[in-house]
């Protein structure tokens, strides 16, 4: 009697457990499958990129719903199809994620090319700007040089007994020794017109500085020659200053027989060495010093 009752209780317990375990679990999986499909359907990327998978998931859900309506041992089929539907809906979502990421990669590559291109264009523009600037500077420099040459030529054409040339140190005006008597530092009257024109030129360019350098030939003692060349340079400086050029802009120095421009071997070349040079700066900069002693 007791045995029978025990067996009965056990059997009903097993039946109850089995009932509880299977029935609601199947419903749960159906609910889960419906939710998974609804979630996938709500994602526009899934309908766009994974319509086939989504469709398959829907059909599997229909199978599951159909199995749930059948009587008898259909619980296994219901949960099986519900599971397949759920997983397939997830597959649809992952496929969509993959495609979305792929599209972003493509767009990113396009963006990368765009950035590189614009950077390259930027660089090209900068290089062009640099080149244009360099060209302009060169043209300006060439124009300045040409202008300076013209200036020197124009001035030289106006001056008697004065040679004008454009050098690295500036405009150099060389006064011949015929403007001085031998051994004397006073300018002869023939120099007046040229000096007036030089002073006028300097007045036109008040920013320029002037350096006056006297030279002699190699005849006679050095001290004498240096003194004579200094006096001649001073005389030219005084003449220019008297004609209205600010004394601040003028420097005078005598080099004696240094820096000859000819050999001193004959009277002709000695005459070339006896000279006064007036160096006019290119602009408001100082005039560079003479580079070392030596014959040309």
Query: Is position 149 an interface residue for other proteins (rule: CB under 8 A)?
Result: no
Chain centroid to Cα 47, Å, comes to 50
Stretch that binds other proteins, among 30-38, 111-119, 258-266, 273-281 (CB under 8 A): 111-119
Distance CA 197, CA 72 (A): 130
Query: Is position 94 an interface residue for other proteins (rule: CB under 8 A)?
Result: yes
The smaller minimum CB distance to other proteins, of residues 45 and 158, is found at 45
Q: Which of 48, 104, 242, 285 binds other proteins (CB under 8 A)?
A: 104
The smaller minimum CB distance to other proteins, of residues 20 and 76, is found at 76
Stretch that binds other proteins, among 102-110, 200-208, 227-235, 283-291 (CB under 8 A): 102-110
C-alpha separations of 287 from 167, 175, 246, 248, 282 in Å:
11, 19, 16, 14, 8
| Residue 164: other Cβ atoms inside 10 A | 22
Query: Is position 111 an interface residue for other proteins (rule: CB under 8 A)?
Result: yes
| Residue 6: other Cβ atoms inside 10 A | 10
Q: Which of 88, 194, 225, 229 binds other proteins (CB under 8 A)?
A: 88
End-to-end CA distance of the chain: 146
Binding mask 40-79 for other proteins (x = CB under 8 A): ------------------------------------x---
Closest to 151 (Cα-Cα) out of 166, 163, 140, 168: 166
Query: Is position 82 an interface residue for other proteins (rule: CB under 8 A)?
Result: no
CB of 277 to other proteins, least distance (A): 47
Distance CA 117, CA 105 (A): 18
The two tokens of residue 223 are: 């001290």
Size of the site for other proteins (CB under 8 A): 27
User: For residue 277, what is the enclosing H or E element?
Assistant: strand 275-280
Instruction: Identify any residues that bridge with 167 across adjacent strands, giving them in sequence order.
Output: 170
Query: Is position 25 an interface residue for other proteins (rule: CB under 8 A)?
Result: no
Angle between helices 75-158 and 192-204 (to 10 degrees): 160
CB of 55 to other proteins, least distance (A): 14
Query: Is position 122 an interface residue for other proteins (rule: CB under 8 A)?
Result: yes
Query: Is position 126 an interface residue for other proteins (rule: CB under 8 A)?
Result: yes
Residues in the site for other proteins, rule: CB under 8 A? 76, 80, 83-84, 87-88, 90-91, 94-95, 97-98, 101-102, 104-105, 108-109, 111-112, 115-116, 118-119, 122-123, 126
């Amino acid at each position: 009697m007791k045995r029978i009752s025990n067996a009965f209780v056990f059997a009903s317990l097993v039946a109850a457990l089995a009932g509880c375990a299977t029935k609601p679990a199947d419903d749960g999986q159906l609910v889960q499958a419906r939710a998974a499909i609804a979630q996938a359907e709500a994602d526009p990327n899934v309908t766009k990129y994974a319509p086939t998978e989504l469709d398959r998931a829907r059909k599997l859900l229909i199978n599951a719903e159909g199995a749930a309506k059948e009587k008898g041992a259909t619980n296994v089929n219901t949960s099986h199809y519900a599971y397949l539907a759920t997983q397939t809906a997830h597959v649809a979502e992952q496929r969509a994620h993959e495609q979305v990421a792929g599209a972003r990669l493509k767009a990113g590559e396009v963006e990368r090319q765009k950035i590189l291109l614009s950077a390259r264009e930027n660089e090209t523009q900068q290089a062009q700007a640099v080149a244009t600037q360099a060209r302009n500077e060169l043209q300006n420099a060439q124009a300045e040089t040409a202008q300076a040459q013209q200036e020197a030529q124009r001035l030289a054409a106006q001056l008697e007994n004065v040679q004008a040339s454009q050098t690295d140190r500036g405009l150099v005006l060389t006064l011949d020794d015929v403007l001085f008597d031998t051994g004397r530092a006073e300018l002869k009257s023939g120099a007046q017109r040229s000096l007036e024109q030089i002073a006028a030129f300097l007045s036109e360019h008040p920013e320029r500085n002037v350096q006056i350098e006297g030279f002699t030939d190699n005849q006679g003692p050095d001290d004498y020659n240096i003194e004579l060349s200094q006096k001649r340079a001073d005389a030219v400086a005084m003449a220019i200053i008297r004609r209205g050029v600010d004394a601040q802009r003028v420097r005078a120095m005598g080099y004696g027989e240094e820096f000859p421009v000819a050999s001193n071997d004959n009277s002709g070349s000695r005459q070339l060495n006896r000279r006064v040079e007036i160096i006019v700066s290119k602009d408001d900069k100082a005039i560079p010093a003479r580079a070392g002693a030596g014959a040309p």
